[in-house]
Amino acid sequence: MKVLCACEESQRVCMAFREKGHEAYSCDILDCSGGHPEWHIKDDVLKHLNDGWDMIIAFPPCTHLAVSGARHFEVKRQDGRQREAIEFFCKFLTVDCKKIAIENPVNIISGDYIKRWFPDLAEKYGLPIKPSCTIQPYQFGDKARKTTNLWLKGLPALIPTNVVEPEILRYICKNGKVVTFSKDYCYNLRWDNKEEISKNRSKHILVSLRQWQINGVRR
Instruction: Output the CA angle 96-67-82, nearest 5 degrees.
Output: 60
pLDDT > 80? residue 191: no
Predicted local confidence at residue 216, as pLDDT:
45
Asked whether residue 50 carries a pLDDT value surpassing 80, the answer given is yes
E strand segments, the chain: 2-6, 23-28, 40-42, 55-58, 99-104, 133-135, 148-153, 168-172, 178-182
pLDDT band at 176 (very low <50, low <70, confident <90, very high): confident
Listed residue (163, 154, 134) closest to 217, CA to CA: 154
Residue boundaries of the structural domains of the chain:
2-160+202-214
What average pLDDT score do residues 182-208 get? 50
Q: If you average pLDDT over every residue of the chain, what do you get?
A: 87
Mean pLDDT of 92-102: 98
pTM of the predicted model as reported, rounded to 2 decimal places:
0.82
Looking at per-residue pLDDT, the higher value among 182 and 25 belongs to: 25
Q: Does residue 23 or residue 144 have the better pLDDT?
A: 23
What pLDDT sits at residue 166? 86
Predicted pLDDT at 198:
55
Q: Among candidates 199, 194, 196, 185, which has minimal Cα distance to 138?
A: 185
Let me know: does 31 contact 11? Beta carbons within 8 Å: no
> In this predicted structure, which of 29-33, 51-55, 212-216 has the lowest mean pLDDT?
212-216
Q: Is the pLDDT higher at 204 or at 90?
A: 90
Query: Sign of dihedral through CA atoms 53, 7, 83, 101?
Result: positive
What fold, for 2-160+202-214? Rossmann fold (3.40.50)
Confidence of residue 192 (pLDDT cuts 50, 70, 90): very low
